[in-house]
Chain A
Amino acid sequence: MAIVINGTEYPLPDDPRISLLDLLRERLGLTGTKLGCNQGGCGACTVIIDGTRVLSCLTLAVQADGREVWTIEGLAAKDGQLHPLQQAFIEHDGLQCGYCTPGQICSAIAMVEELRRGDPSYVTADLTEGPMGATRHEIRERMSGNLCRCGAHNGIVEAIEEIMAGGAA
């Protein structure tokens, strides 16, 4: 039993109560993934497992056995070069306290893929259409699982728009 995090393999914890979030933060020192509520209510703990965004607080670490997990620490290039979305967050001031930020970024990276694949959202007008436009309305609905109490929403949406326009991510 093992789990691959940002390309490195780790053994699973012995106590199955341990959430993926706790494993990351308290055992592996990967504190970039944040604990906001431990209840699925805020999105601060968002990580990407096998390409999809999930909440690490409600994922038992054992459930991620054999999966490939990416966290905020794994997004920048090996040489430290920021991921384009990380850079765009800085440019558009898509953060204040920075506590929701890793979750927002991981969530957005996976969301861009969902949009490109043409997965619908609750606000998509026509469900039978192919990939829908990345309107602000679509982005906002799709990012609503990531709360930000500081109110960096406008900058976050602009940053996402920028990388979608640039074809990055």
Chain B
Amino acid sequence: MRAFDYRRAGDRAEALSIARTETARYLGGGTNLVDLMRQNIEAPAALVDVSRLPGLIEDTPTGGLMIGAAVRNSVVAAHPAVRARYPMLSRAILAGASAQIRNMATVGGNILQRTRCAYFYDAAGSHCNKREPGAGCDAIEGFNRYHAIFGASEHCIATHPSDMCVALAALGATVHLAGAGGERNVPLLDLHRLPGDHPEIETILRPGELITAIELAPSEAAANSGYRKVRDRSSYAFALVSVAAGLGLAAGKIEDVRIAMGGVAAKPWRAARAEQVLRGQVPTRERFREAADTELAAAKAFDGNEFKVELAKRTIVAMLSELAGTEA
């Protein structure tokens, strides 16, 4: 790890001003950034600690929820409003990492955590376009069990490892940002980029831009929602595939449905095609399967992750069946 300056921001304005003046990075819980700095993958000259900025969870005037970026993951998961109104978010967070890490990790940091691709992590000995543009990608013909089946490019096939973001994607969360040019809001779904020709550019954030909060809209489907994560070890392991889903039923038909997948792309993957198949339909296993088939038709797998296509379909069907109360 290269030496750096450490500054703790007292408030948002201070954070923005320090971050503007230096080649600085924001520091949340540090659970990803400190690790990456130790691996010589990141080497900022300064860290601006934003983990002590005021972090609240508050109702919005429209009946939604506003979650401050500095709120710890475990606090979000245990919050009564989240548990009652957005259970998929609680569960997604609780499916990630370990209790200790969730106690440290912030909402902002979780969203911006980087891929777990083993070649990306091996700064000394592997080729990786994300780390070093133009160096090549050792994963494409190497170990790619944890890699993408959607939206990959010939330059990078890595996945975004966050569980929390999968629920946020399904919920259609809005990310509040503040930067030199003022404040703006972007849908979480638009925040992360697919790799394309530039896998090193992972988000649409501008230099020095700070995530200040996440806003969740009120939703019927969110109250009847869940998260299912499939992994190689029963706990404390990243997802092979995960599914966040919510189902709003009215008069025996699907009125609102939200589905997103994790472990399948460089961003949380909203299953819009599957949702479209289901809207207005009677919830049956056959329909769920049809929806999953439709979504996964566009999947493109590699040698090490072909199984994910079927696994994703089954996990979608099982999750939706559970929410619909139909026999699994």
Which residues of A are interface residues toward B (Cβ below 8 A)?
15-17, 19, 38-40, 43, 46, 52-55, 58-60, 62-63, 65, 107, 111, 114, 117-122, 124, 127-128, 140-142, 144-147
Residue from A15, A17, A40, A144 whose CB has the most chain B CB atoms within 10 Å: A40
Interface contact A145-B6, CB-CB below 8 Å? no
Interface contact B83-A120, CB-CB below 8 Å? yes
Minimal beta-carbon separation of A128 from chain B (angstroms): 6
Main secondary structure of the interface of B (DSSP, over half): mixed
Mask of B25-46 contacts with A, CB within 8 angstroms, 1/0 = 0010111001100100000000
Minimal beta-carbon separation of A154 from chain B (angstroms): 16
Interface contact B235-A144, CB-CB below 8 Å? yes
Q: Report the bound CA distance from A119 to B103 in whole Å.
A: 12
Chain B positions 69-101 with a Cβ under 8 Å from a chain A Cβ: 74, 77-78, 83-84, 87, 90-91, 94-95, 97-101
Q: B4 touches which one: A17, A122, A147 (CB < 8 A)? A: A17
Q: Report the bound CA distance from A86 to B135 in whole Å.
A: 51
- For B3, the chain A residues whose CB sits under 8 A away are 15, 17
- For A145, the chain B residues whose CB sits under 8 A away are 97-101, 236
- For B77, the chain A residues whose CB sits under 8 A away are 119-120
| Contact of A53 with B103 at beta-carbon distance under 8 Å, contacts A58-B31, A144-B235, A145-B236 already known | yes
Q: A52 touches which one: B4, B35, B83, B103 (CB < 8 A)? A: B103
Interface contact A127-B4, CB-CB below 8 Å? no
Interface presence of B47 (CB below 8 A): yes
Q: Report the bound CA distance from A43 to B98 in whole Å.
A: 9
Interface contact A119-B101, CB-CB below 8 Å? no
- For B38, the chain A residues whose CB sits under 8 A away are 38-39
Interface contact A111-B95, CB-CB below 8 Å? no
Chain B positions 235-264 with a Cβ under 8 Å from a chain A Cβ: 235-236
Q: Report the bound CA distance from A15 to B1 in whole Å.
A: 11
Interface presence of B5 (CB below 8 A): yes
